[in-house]
Amino acid sequence: MTDRSREAVARLLAPAGVAIGGGRAWDIQVHDDRLYARLLSGGSLALGESYMDGWWDCAALDELTRRILEAGLERRVPGLRSVLWLALKARLTNRQAKRRAYNIGRRHYDLGNDLFQAMLDKRMNYSCAYWKDAGGLDQAQEAKLELCCRKLGLEPGLSVLDIGCGWGAFAKYAAERHGVRVTGITVSSEQAALGRELCEGLPVRIELQDYRGLSGRYDRVLSVGMIEHVGYKNYRTYMEIVDRVLADDGLFLLQTIGSNLSGRNGEPWMDKYIFPDGMLPGPARLTRAAEGLFVLEDWHNFGPDYDRTLMAWKSNFDARWEGLSRNGGYDERFRRMWTYYLLTCAGSFRARRNQLWQLVFSKRGVRGGYRSPR
């Protein structure tokens, strides 16, 4: 059975130019022969879990992922039970309902501020950087923050709402550089605590709050890397809330990872280990949710920049792993899980399977037209 299973896996990998035991960086090295049957029955979930278990290795997981996705191998692998189960749950339940709003905070963003401080740029941006004219991660993340400020047309005295503010990177930058007042919300208690500390002395307020409890009125609204946790059943509610709190002459900037197709659920391994209840919006779902509420002024795709961002995070993670392991209690299984997360995501952007979008909306259309910075 092992020989037949190995041959079946080898045949699946061949169209991607990937070999078992080969000498290229993207070839897989198998340490446990039980892997083959496990992959054939368990699909993508088994692929990630067996890597975490140390059953196989690959010198360039990012390139392996790119090749698998570009060859469309994920559509040919048996073991769709986990995918079908996720899809069924997504249809029958609202996995991102208000009662579950803080799950993602507890299970991902509260993992430890030490982990994210070690991995991210000095301002702690946990979203795609903008590499157009940047020489390093810190510069690229500042360029992204400035791009957001320019697209929103920030001026001193304006009030800004940041939905999903993280550790307050945008809030701090916008308050310091553009003289605005910022209210940020997050579902992570660790983010809120450190964000308040980092923004101390500035006109910034950071609250532990779900977006469905928002009230008030703001000149500008920003949301970076948060709608990936909203879920397709809640997109319209999300847009209606933004409409309610945004001034009539205001602008709304939405940054999100996007999928080429509109699905109903996330990838099984990512859902189980990294972003529970997460899903990437497709373009049709976003425009449908905004229809009748907003004018879409601009749609900017710089998805390849996320590949470079993720590789920079992986470099930082590797360079500081010894300290994280010694002082933070992160074990070898966590290292393999986090490595798999960062590199497979990088490969998905390199394959252009995932995108990174910035959308700018107005409520009634910008008089004379909107001119978007790039």
| DSSP 3-state of 344 | helix
Give the per-residue pLDDT at 73.
85
| DSSP 3-state of 137 | helix
Residue 289 neighbours by CB distance under 10 Å: 21
Query: Residue 200: what residue type?
Result: E
pLDDT at 306 over 50: yes
* pLDDT tier at 262, thresholds 50, 70, 90: confident
Percent of the chain residues topping a pLDDT of 70? 93
Average pLDDT over residues 84-104: 58
Give the per-residue pLDDT at 96.
64
User: Which segment of 52-66, 81-95, 244-258, 331-345 scores lowest on mean pLDDT?
Assistant: 81-95
Distances in whole angstroms, Cα of residue 227 to Cα of each of 31, 249, 253, 257, 294: 39, 23, 12, 9, 17
Residues labelled as active-site residues = 345
* pLDDT tier at 68, thresholds 50, 70, 90: very high
Average pLDDT over residues 99-124: 89
Residue 268 neighbours by CB distance under 10 Å: 24
Query: Residue 300: what residue type?
Result: H
Give the per-residue pLDDT at 97.
63
Distance (Å, rounded) from C-alpha 221 to C-alpha 112? 28
Residue 367 neighbours by CB distance under 10 Å: 8
Contacts (Cβ under 8 Å, ≥6 apart) of 106? 188
Domain map (residue ranges) of the chain: 2-79, 102-362
Average pLDDT over residues 54-82: 84
Average pLDDT over residues 277-293: 95
Which residue, chain included where needed, has tokens 């605590």? 193
pLDDT at 91 over 70: no
Distance (Å, rounded) from C-alpha 192 to C-alpha 200? 12
Contact at 8 Å (CB) between 247 and 294?
no
Give the per-residue pLDDT at 226.
96
pLDDT at 293 over 50: yes
Give the per-residue pLDDT at 75.
75
CATH class of this structure's domain 102-362: alpha beta
Distance (Å, rounded) from C-alpha 246 to C-alpha 251? 8
pLDDT at 300 over 90: yes
User: Which segment of 1-15, 152-166, 242-256 scores lowest on mean pLDDT?
Assistant: 1-15
Distances in whole angstroms, Cα of residue 82 to Cα of each of 79, 89, 296, 328, 340: 7, 11, 36, 32, 19
Q: Which of 64-68, 71-75, 76-80 has the highest mean pLDDT?
A: 64-68
Element containing residue 248 per DSSP (H, E): strand 246-259
Angle at 250 between CA 249 and CA 252, to 5 degrees: 145
Which of 223, 304, 302, 231 has the alpha carbon at shortest distance from 266?
A: 231
Return the structure tokens found at 260: 């080429």
pTM (two decimals)? 0.94
Give the per-residue pLDDT at 78.
52
| DSSP 3-state of 36 | helix
Over residues 20-45, the pLDDT tens digits come to 999 999 999 999 999 999 998 888 89
pLDDT at 1 over 60: no
Which of 126, 231, 141, 226 has the alpha carbon at shortest distance from 186?
A: 226
Average pLDDT over residues 267-291: 94
Contact at 8 Å (CB) between 147 and 169?
no
47 φψ region: left (φ > 0), alpha (ψ -120 to 50), beta (else) = alpha
Distance (Å, rounded) from C-alpha 265 to C-alpha 57? 28
